[in-house]
Amino acid sequence: MARAEGLPGVAALAMDRRGTAYAACSGGGSDGSGPRAVALSLDPAGAVAQGAARELPASACFVALGPDGRSLFSASYGDGRLDRVPLPGADGAAPARYETGANTHCVAFSPDGRFVYATSLGDDRVSWFESGGEAEPGADDGAIAPSGHVAAEPGSGPRYLRLNAIGDRAYVVHELTGEVAVYGRDAESGALELLQRVSAVEGLGLVPGPVRSASTPDPGTGVVWAADLRLTPDGRFLFTTERSTSTISAFAVKDDGTLEFLARTATETQPCGSAIDPSGRFLLVCGEGSDHISSYWIGDDGSLTPASRAETSAGPLAIECWSAQAGAPVL
């Protein structure tokens, strides 16, 4: 196992096709640095090396590589913003900010790279933008306005959004209610249309949770605290995690893209981050209340069978997998 040190407040990861990882750090370490993204590479012997770094406009809870392969999109929960910056050590598109809303939590791209989608947990909406767009003259604070948005149920808190491989369906997990929304997507306009809303927490005895921040009291374990959402590469199964009960919910994706609940599996304490390896055979889950990562075989019926468990640093938040060309170790 390899480990990179000196990354204060690292909370999110993104991976490019060459096997370089970009770690978003909130800063505040002994060096006095602010929010930044740091490039990490893995050599053939398994050692991790730190490369170039770039300042971020705000602390990031989620980062993703832009469609041009030279830009990084960072979502800030605390500052309610989505920003585009060049990759560390590269000349990408000019920096830009997108008008996303309170508690911005996630960014995803259409398969053709034309549209970027973002969730606003605090404003209960999902917005979409032209990914290479620019702010209109006179726009408030220079932010790029959305091409459109859809409203989620009040108090539901849309958190993570994933698109299927062909881009005609979008799936959103809601942190405060545990619902998963399924949207049909128009490829030409980028617009979303609600097709289904299904619960991932039914039967767990939880009530809707609050919007959380550093200044709000801990509501305890009796409320919904949903986290991640992942689709298998073949689009057959979807998995979500719930932190109050430390469980994974599995769904089958039907032919029309809607979901059917399958089963629930106990996992790491407060499962915040998850990933599916490129082969689609394994689901990996880490717990922000634990110091381990667990892997599960994904069965042909969507069932999860424990495969292995490995120690990590305390409170892991995010998982990415290196490409097969780089040896496919897990970060």
- The domain locations on the chain are 10-271
Tokens describing residue 33: 């640095």
- For residue 326, the model assigns a pLDDT of 44
- For residue 142, the model assigns a pLDDT of 80
- In order of 268, 269, 312, 316, the CA distances from 293 in angstroms are 7, 10, 7, 8
Tokens describing residue 66: 């832009």
- For residue 131, the model assigns a pLDDT of 83
- For residue 91, the model assigns a pLDDT of 86
- For residue 45, the model assigns a pLDDT of 72
Query: Where on the phi/psi map is residue 219: left (φ > 0), alpha (ψ -120 to 50), or beta?
Result: alpha
- For residue 252, the model assigns a pLDDT of 98
- For residue 6, the model assigns a pLDDT of 78
Return the sign of the alpha-carbon dihedral for residues 36, 128, 100, 171.
Answer: negative
- For residue 31, the model assigns a pLDDT of 66
- For residue 300, the model assigns a pLDDT of 97
Per-run averaged pLDDT (10 residues), the chain, 331 residues:
80 89 82 87 79 95 94 96 94 90 97 97 97 66 91 98 98 98 97 98 98 93 97 98 98 98 98 95 97 97 97 92 52 37
CATH number of 10-271: 2.130.10.10
Single out the residue of 82, 103, 84 nearest to residue 93, CA to CA: 84
- For residue 186, the model assigns a pLDDT of 98
Please state, in angstroms and rounded to a whole number, the distance separating the CA atoms of residues 329 and 331.
7
Please state, in angstroms and rounded to a whole number, the distance separating the CA atoms of residues 209 and 223.
5
